[in-house]
């Protein structure tokens, strides 16, 4: 049985945090933190308001927890000052405060945008070099590296989940490849918090999608058995695709519009 009893969820007011509060509450005693108080906070939910860049506030949020599910930070592309504050400084602070407070495990919400500049035709595992498609994606690659530092230097157990797209159903053709059913994300979080053999692992946060871009053998090795199947929603997703404005860069790369945004490289993208 796992010795993880009390779990802190950062970013608890956001979409992922709200979904995981519901799916994890029966397994752990949850403490929640975010910049703002969740609007649907239940009477039995403990909430500590904190900015990840504020060390003293973060200390209060982390004190006494066994594990952390780190969904906090800026969740889309942003300017460098925004990404630096929330996703670079905030991420480092989270790991460092966790270490100093004896936290055993951290599950870090990485992103597919850490490897967004791989072509869609190329299937990749977790050992390929990162190819971030944005400042946001770069910050997630940084978070994976911070997790490795604290795992190998300090003995923390760290799981990084490169999340595709969490929603009730995939919304278009690209998301038929990267869709992650919320319950499958919860399963990956459970593995990160409870599996006895975790040291530092990177998993792809993706369901059982036949169009998938990624080899998720690492997650399967730890017992991951996704239940969602994106092809169940194929017709609706492809119909929605016809209404979208697309461009060659977005269509070529796995990161989609994150790749085409601000893109000004010369040459044929198919060469890479």
Q: Where are the alpha helices (DSSP H) in the chain?
A: 15-24, 55-62, 80-83, 90-100, 135-154, 173-178, 182-194, 217-221, 234-241, 248-252, 257-260
d(CA 174, CA 183): 20
d(CA 213, CA 224): 17
**Burial profile 75-93: b = 16 or more Cβ within 10 angstroms, e = fewer:** bebbeeebbbbbbbebbbb
d(CA 75, CA 91): 13
d(CA 2, CA 135): 36
Q: Sign (positive/negative) of CA torsion 207, 31, 147, 52? A: positive
159 and 203 in contact (C-beta within 8 Å)? yes
First to last CA, the chain: 46
Q: Is 28 a catalytic residue?
A: no
Catalytic residue among 118, 136, 224, 233: 136
Catalytic residues: 136
């Amino acid at each position: 049985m796992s010795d993880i009893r009390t779990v802190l969820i950062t970013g608890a007011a956001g979409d992922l945090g709200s979904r995981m509060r519901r799916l994890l509450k029966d397994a752990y005693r949850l403490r929640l933190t975010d910049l703002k108080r969740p609007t649907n906070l239940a009477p039995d939910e403990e909430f500590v308001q904190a900015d990840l860049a504020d060390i003293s506030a973060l200390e209060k949020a982390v004190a006494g927890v066994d594990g952390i599910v780190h969904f906090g930070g800026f969740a889309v592309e942003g300017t460098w000052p925004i990404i630096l504050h929330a996703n670079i400084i905030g991420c480092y602070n989270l790991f460092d405060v966790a270490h100093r407070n004896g936290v055993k495990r951290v599950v870090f919400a990485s992103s597919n945008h850490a490897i967004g500049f791989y072509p869609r035709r190329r299937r990749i595992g977790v050992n390929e070099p990162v190819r971030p498609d944005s400042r946001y994606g770069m910050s997630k690659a940084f978070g994976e590296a911070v997790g490795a530092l604290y795992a190998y230097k300090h003995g923390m157990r760290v799981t990084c989940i490169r999340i595709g797209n969490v929603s009730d159903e995939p919304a278009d053709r690209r998301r038929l490849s990267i869709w992650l059913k919320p319950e499958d994300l919860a399963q990956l979080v459970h593995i990160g918090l409870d599996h006895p053999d975790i040291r530092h692992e990177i998993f792809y946060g993706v369901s059982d999608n036949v169009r998938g871009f990624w080899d998720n053998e690492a997650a399967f090795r730890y017992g991951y058995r996704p239940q969602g199947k994106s092809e169940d929603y194929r017709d609706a997703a492809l119909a929605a695709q016809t209404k979208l404005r697309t461009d060659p860069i977005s269509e070529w790369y796995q990161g989609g519009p994150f790749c085409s945004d601000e893109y000004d490289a010369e040459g044929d993208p198919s060469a890479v």
